[in-house]
Structure 1
């Protein structure tokens, strides 16, 4: 229809016919079932409401096709009212996609109940079709709901797996972090153990080892350190008393832990708190190697000792015990060797017109047993022989050979007056008895009232002579070969004029030898030091010897022994036989 269709609706039958007409019109225009059912339902409800208010006027209009090619069915319901105020109308539009049906059919001309019944049946068919569509939609919605539920379940399961994976990953990260921490702790403990072991084993002085322990352990591994050595009764950082735990460690030879709470340390016995340290735990570790040397007592740096750290401390104590045992054994041998060495040194005789002074400094490395020696004694004719020598090598064997040479030299000096002939006989003896051992020696012979000194040298560093005015001369005449070198050799005597008040310095190579510079630099330094002395300084030869040693011998460790023998002629030499006697 192109012109509006206006109908008066005053009864239910008219309303039913109008609804049937609109349904037929919408169906003929191809309106979709769902939209058509909604449109008819809304129109029927409005018509029913209008009947209760006295009726209404229904206007139906089919609009011309629009730009999209479709048409619209527009229904307007205008209620009939007796009041002077106009009632508001109701309107609704239905879009129909088929413009070719714009001239939709009208209801059949008959107005009997048969047509109305057919319309109602048609409406039921439409309703059934709509319901079928709704059922399909509900089935589809149910399927979507099931799919959504399954998807949700899958998402939940995925989240659970992700949470489990994240938890597992976190646990792995925590385990890796803990493993790294343990590895770093073990590396740190091993590094400390290696460094501390190097420190305690580098020295052969037990006092140095005991002194270094607190420096190494405080404050990271201990708050206090006490070392109890049974033989020495010395403490590095103790108070002179020993805890019950230390006594128990010494008695049982097992580590002891004393604290308010059990330490639960491996291989350690737990004891009550110590009266000496009631608040902090004590760890007492025996120092045992071959024999029990003492006890190392440590006060905890915190509330307790760590188990891994305690194992490191046990191993460190074992290495400290080895270092202390080596140091104590070395010190015992060193003391014995030094006593043996000094027992073979001669008490210098006293002679008219000649003053003597000597110094012997043992090497600080090794067992301090060397072959350096000095000697001074009278010959039967009243001459005074001064001797200095050095047997190659160190140890008891060198000391024994030195003693043999010293004894043999004194024996030969009874028969021979010449220093050269004495050295020649010593050379033959050493080649015969000790073919693989060598020695150097120098003999200087002073005669009473004679201002000459006769000397001979066997491979020994040259003597240095200082005149009264300060002039220094090195007696560098070519020396003979070393004693014991396997070749026949005859030594030669040399004679040097000396003035009254002159000083002759005999020494071994330990005084002048320098590793990087050789002996020449040392001889030059000795000459300069001797020349720099004042005459009053030379009156006291003991003090003079100290003045010579100070710039030449460093206080640090020495690899070789040092012997120094000073011979000073008096400013006025008296005649006659010296008043001294043979001190042999």
Structure 2
């Protein structure tokens, strides 16, 4: 089958109408859908109207065997259109001249049908568009809601992160404050010297927690501050409550607010009472910045409370130490003045602890004119040791008045201590000097050996074996030893605190004492008190000793 083709001349509107009507009929017969026909005919009509009425145009129509209807409109602007026909168009093609008025009227009515079909298709399309528009609106609403939920979730997540950061910062701040409080407590409680505590307190607080620190301590009977004090400090001392003085209220927990201090108008002050039971003073802090932090203030209140307790403990300890030292010294005897015998003694309390112990020395004449030099040491420290030391000293004098010798006196003391104070022991050494004699009688109960320096400078340690300690729960009789002592000789009796150190044994200390005695010059021995001081210097070069020290020097003349 070959293609059918025909060319029509369009010279007037009537020619254009007939050509349009003919092509509408051909397309309809070929089964072209109404919408496609309407689109084709509308485009064709517009092209034909554009060329009329002045120009002539050639319209070529070709029907191909494959079902295509091709239309070509010649002229200044050629136009081509191809319709795909479901059914083939049978040839030959009728010319537009065969279209009469009846056919034109029928074509006009058919155009209305095509228009109605197009409008119906448009309605369907609009319904579909409306449906999709509604669907799109719902989708948009869902997307907006999802965006809102995502934004809310993001905001909640940011708030949670901020809360977590804030909680971490608060936890870190609390940890730092608690660590400082623990360290400050350890520093304040490590010393029982209130001057040391007062020195360390500003070192702890400046500059992180205070720009400046002032500590005002009051006497027990005086409440009027000497010199200029901030009004807030006076109020804190009078009321016992912490005070804040600043241009603006601090609103700090547990702290009263006062106007700014004239002594510090531009920087807030925090005045904290010191004292465990009564106000003993006031700790005044100037703010390290513009204001005091509430959490830091809580920590500073606790530091002030603990500092007050530490100061009270130090003051109480110093009072007890002074009383104990006075009690200890009251137990010591004033050395007698005896012809032919010079005496000098030194007592040094321990540098640690309550400074009360059981070390003692004594010297007194017997009824027969001889002189007893005694040195002793009760085990332990504290009031009980001092009391037992006093009892032993009194009992020893009582036994000596009865005319007993050194060994017998120790035997009686041992018996007394063993029965009256079990589980408490003591050491003691007694030397008896006889006027005009050249010998000394010694007896010892577990005591370090005496050291002798002869006139020529020779030094010897009297190594005679001592008896057991006083109070050991076994019966015991002590023995006496007689030692030749040329005139001008110096005998040293001492307690173990002089020669014993943690880092070395007691034997090394005794050797050190012997060397120190050998190093004494003749001028030192002329004044026995000078000799005692000269001996203590090399023996106590470290100045720290955990035990009491007694030294009794006896020099025959």
Same topology, TM > 0.5: yes
For the residue of structure 1 that corresponds to 2:546, the secondary structure is coil
Counterpart for residue 244 of structure 1:
231
Deviates more, 1:88-97 or 1:419-428: 88-97
Pairing 1:473–2:460 present: yes
CA contact (8 A) 2:378 2:389 kept: yes
Correspondence list, 1:260-409, <5 A: 260-409=247-396
CA contact (8 A) 2:233 2:284 kept: yes
In the TM superposition, residue 362 of structure 1 has moved relative to its aligned partner by 0.7
For the residue of structure 1 that corresponds to 2:498, the secondary structure is coil
Deviates more, 1:176-185 or 1:390-399: 176-185
In the TM superposition, residue 459 of structure 1 has moved relative to its aligned partner by 0.9
Relative to 1, partners in 2 of residues 1:75 and 1:420: Cα closer, same or farther, differing over 3 Å? Answer: same
Counterpart for residue 24 of structure 2:
23
In the TM superposition, residue 104 of structure 1 has moved relative to its aligned partner by 5.3
Counterpart for residue 57 of structure 1:
58
Partner residue of 1:75 out of 54, 72, 75: 72
* Counterpart Cα distance in 2 of 1:22 and 1:538: 156
* Counterpart Cα distance in 2 of 1:142 and 1:281: 73
Partner residue of 2:546 out of 547, 559, 563: 559
For the residue of structure 2 that corresponds to 1:275, the secondary structure is coil
Query: Unaligned stretches of 5+ in structure 2?
Result: none
For the residue of structure 1 that corresponds to 2:74, the secondary structure is strand
Relative to 1, partners in 2 of residues 1:44 and 1:358: Cα closer, same or farther, differing over 3 Å? Answer: same
Pairing 1:210–2:198 present: yes
Relative to 1, partners in 2 of residues 1:469 and 1:128: Cα closer, same or farther, differing over 3 Å? Answer: farther
Relative to 1, partners in 2 of residues 1:104 and 1:468: Cα closer, same or farther, differing over 3 Å? Answer: farther
Q: Deviations over 1:108-137 (max 9, x none)?
A: 895322222233333332232222222111
In the TM superposition, residue 380 of structure 1 has moved relative to its aligned partner by 3.5
Counterpart for residue 136 of structure 2:
148
Normalised by the length of structure 2, the TM-score is 0.90
For the residue of structure 2 that corresponds to 1:291, the secondary structure is coil
* Counterpart Cα distance in 2 of 1:512 and 1:122: 140
CA contact (8 A) 1:461 1:507 kept: yes
Partner residue of 2:244 out of 250, 253, 257: 257
* Counterpart Cα distance in 2 of 1:148 and 1:418: 126
* Counterpart Cα distance in 1 of 2:452 and 2:328: 28
In the TM superposition, residue 8 of structure 1 has moved relative to its aligned partner by 0.9
* Counterpart Cα distance in 1 of 2:415 and 2:55: 165
CA contact (8 A) 1:2 1:102 kept: no
Q: Deviations over 1:169-212 (max 9, x none)?
A: 22222223223322222222222222212222222111111111
* Counterpart Cα distance in 2 of 1:57 and 1:216: 111
Relative to 1, partners in 2 of residues 1:110 and 1:103: Cα closer, same or farther, differing over 3 Å? Answer: closer
Relative to 1, partners in 2 of residues 1:104 and 1:337: Cα closer, same or farther, differing over 3 Å? Answer: farther
CA contact (8 A) 1:29 1:96 kept: no
Partner residue of 2:493 out of 494, 506, 516: 506
Query: Unaligned stretches of 5+ in structure 1?
Result: 79-87, 574-584
Counterpart for residue 10 of structure 1:
11
Relative to 1, partners in 2 of residues 1:97 and 1:527: Cα closer, same or farther, differing over 3 Å? Answer: farther
Relative to 1, partners in 2 of residues 1:275 and 1:11: Cα closer, same or farther, differing over 3 Å? Answer: closer
* Counterpart Cα distance in 1 of 2:540 and 2:90: 137
CA contact (8 A) 2:12 2:53 kept: no
For the residue of structure 2 that corresponds to 1:296, the secondary structure is strand
Q: Deviations over 1:320-344 (max 9, x none)?
A: 2221111111111111111111122
Relative to 1, partners in 2 of residues 1:7 and 1:339: Cα closer, same or farther, differing over 3 Å? Answer: same
Relative to 1, partners in 2 of residues 1:515 and 1:59: Cα closer, same or farther, differing over 3 Å? Answer: same
For the residue of structure 1 that corresponds to 2:476, the secondary structure is coil
* Counterpart Cα distance in 2 of 1:288 and 1:457: 50
Counterpart for residue 524 of structure 1:
511
CA contact (8 A) 2:61 2:69 kept: no
* Counterpart Cα distance in 1 of 2:49 and 2:290: 93
In the TM superposition, residue 370 of structure 1 has moved relative to its aligned partner by 0.8
Deviates more, 1:268-277 or 1:468-477: 468-477
Q: Deviations over 1:393-414 (max 9, x none)?
A: 2222222221222222223223
For the residue of structure 2 that corresponds to 1:245, the secondary structure is helix
Q: Deviations over 1:305-333 (max 9, x none)?
A: 22222222222222222211111111111
In the TM superposition, residue 373 of structure 1 has moved relative to its aligned partner by 0.6
* Counterpart Cα distance in 2 of 1:71 and 1:540: 150
